[in-house]
């Protein structure tokens, strides 16, 4: 038993060291700047982003063992979102209005689609191994996530209609994020989803655990500012050499590296037969993207000298419309807290179509189709909407009248 524990300890320590080395490579490449060949520079920064994202994911998940108080939770959530936020703010400050929505929409759609699709895929994989997936019942605390996502999607539709993202709209999205943090992330009976390296760190004695995750978060937070700021420019430089559409590069390549830790952890939780926690992790990430990122962009655009409103061209409006439709479809699919696998396959099909055919007419069609499906599912599950609305402060009195939640189940 002692040998097994020693082997496990060496294994997670090597993983942390490898992720730290990747993060350091990213910092060195970012420091070298355009002196390196474009493809080599982009590859090095991608490795760095992946390393810092892993360190942030492990550190923040392990820190939940000691989290107490809303300010600590706010800090943990902010640090976990640093890679995506840094890229989006950097693009806004440099006034690349045509690209600023790319990473935001790509990351949000990836997380939300995975949240609905992953349990269905996990069920298929487990069945091929002769195992069964337990019944997926989300914690009632996730209704707050769904309520905030629904409001953020409606706000996005308003931004699409106006054709610009203003400071006032950004303040509204920021207020939604503050509301989400004040009301709390998840139910009190929902335990942190710590597995793998994060679980090994969390199992250390309190003093050692705190020293380690603080060191990981400090180093990764410093590294991500250097690496993520340089990544968009070097990625575009590499894409230009190969004639790749800049918008698609920013939209899919960067989220693939920044979201990998969350997707891997969520996928592992599903395969460990803990699908509710996997979905919860992806929903929390989606809330941050749908609120805090939207709040940061217009302020960053103003700081860069771009004015008080970020203009949105036709393509960006279609992308935001598709993201809002995806969000509403995810809310509809999860509204009952016991999602139907059919909804997951619908979202998987829509995601595949928009990825294979990235032109705006196809994406506009996919957006409108998802809106229709979302409205249909929401109407069929309209009884689930009142508890979701009650998760917000305005619905607190109504929630009190509804009485105890009959579906309260610990995932």
In Å, what is the CA distance from 238 to each residue of 251, 273, 293?
A: 15, 41, 26
The answer to the question of residue 408 being in a domain is no
Q: Point out which residues pair with 311 in neighbouring strands.
A: 164
pLDDT score of 171: 96
pLDDT score of 105: 92
The answer to the question of residue 366 being in a domain is yes
Binned at pLDDT 50, 70 and 90, residue 379 comes out as very high
3-state secondary structure of 63: helix
Kindly tell me if the per-residue pLDDT of 394 is higher than 60: no
User: Residue 171 belongs to what domain range?
Assistant: 2-402
The answer to the question of residue 8 being in a domain is yes
The answer to the question of residue 308 being in a domain is yes
Mean pLDDT of 34-48: 90
The answer to the question of residue 407 being in a domain is no
Q: What is the pTM of this model?
A: 0.83
- Cα 6 to Cα 84: distance, rounded to the nearest angstrom: 36
The answer to the question of residue 139 being in a domain is yes
The answer to the question of residue 410 being in a domain is no
pLDDT score of 137: 87
pLDDT score of 119: 85
Binned at pLDDT 50, 70 and 90, residue 9 comes out as low
The answer to the question of residue 24 being in a domain is yes
pLDDT score of 59: 83
Bigger pLDDT: 184 or 302?
302
Q: State how many domains the chain has.
A: 1
Query: Taking the CB of residue 164, how many other CB atoms lie within 10 A of it?
Result: 16
- Which of 182-191, 210-219, 237-246 is the least confident region? 182-191
Q: What's the full length of the chain, in residues? A: 411
Q: What is the CATH number of the domain that holds 292?
A: 1.20.1420.30
pLDDT score of 2: 61
pLDDT score of 402: 41
């Amino acid at each position: 038993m002692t040998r097994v524990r020693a082997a496990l300890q060496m294994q997670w320590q090597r993983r942390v060291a490898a992720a730290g080395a990747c993060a350091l490579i990213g910092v060195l490449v970012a420091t070298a700047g355009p002196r390196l060949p474009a493809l080599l520079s982009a590859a090095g920064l991608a490795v760095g982003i992946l390393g810092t994202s892993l360190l942030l994911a492990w550190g923040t998940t392990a820190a939940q063992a000691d989290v107490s108080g809303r300010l600590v939770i706010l800090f943990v959530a902010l640090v976990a979102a640093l890679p995506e936020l840094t890229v989006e703010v950097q693009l806004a400050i440099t006034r690349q209005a045509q690209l600023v929505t790319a990473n935001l929409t790509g990351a949000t759609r990836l997380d939300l689609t995975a949240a609905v699709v992953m349990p269905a895929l996990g069920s298929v994989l487990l069945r091929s191994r002769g195992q069964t997936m337990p019944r997926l019942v989300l914690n009632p605390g996730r209704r707050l996530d769904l309520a905030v996502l629904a409001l953020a999607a409606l706000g996005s539709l308003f931004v699409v209609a106006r054709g610009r993202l203003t400071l006032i709209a950004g303040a509204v999205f920021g207020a939604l994020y503050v509301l989400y943090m004040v009301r709390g992330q998840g139910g009190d009976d929902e335990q942190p989803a710590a597995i793998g390296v994060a679980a090994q760190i969390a199992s250390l004695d309190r003093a050692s655990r705190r020293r380690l995750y603080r060191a990981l978060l400090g180093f990764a937070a410093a590294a991500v500012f250097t690496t993520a700021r340089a990544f968009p420019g070097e990625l575009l430089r590499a894409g230009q050499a190969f004639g790749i559409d800049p918008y698609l590069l920013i939209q899919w390549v960067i989220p693939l590296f920044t979201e990998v830790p969350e997707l891997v952890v969520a996928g592992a939780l599903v395969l460990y037969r803990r699908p509710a926690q996997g979905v919860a992790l992806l929903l929390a990430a989606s809330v941050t993207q749908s609120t805090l990122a939207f709040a940061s962009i217009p302020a960053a655009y103003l700081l860069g000298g771009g004015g008080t409103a970020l203009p949105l061209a036709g393509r960006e409006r279609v992308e935001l419309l598709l993201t809002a439709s995806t969000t509403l479809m995810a809310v509809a699919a999860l509204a009952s807290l016991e999602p139907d696998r059919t909804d997951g396959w619908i979202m998987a099909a829509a995601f595949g179509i928009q990825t294979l055919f990235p032109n705006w007419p196809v994406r506009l069609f996919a957006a409108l189709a998802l809106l229709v499906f979302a409205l249909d599912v929401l109407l069929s599950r309209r009884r689930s909407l009142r508890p979701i609305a009650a998760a917000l402060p305005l619905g607190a009195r109504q929630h009190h009248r509804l009485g105890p939640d009959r579906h309260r189940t610990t995932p």
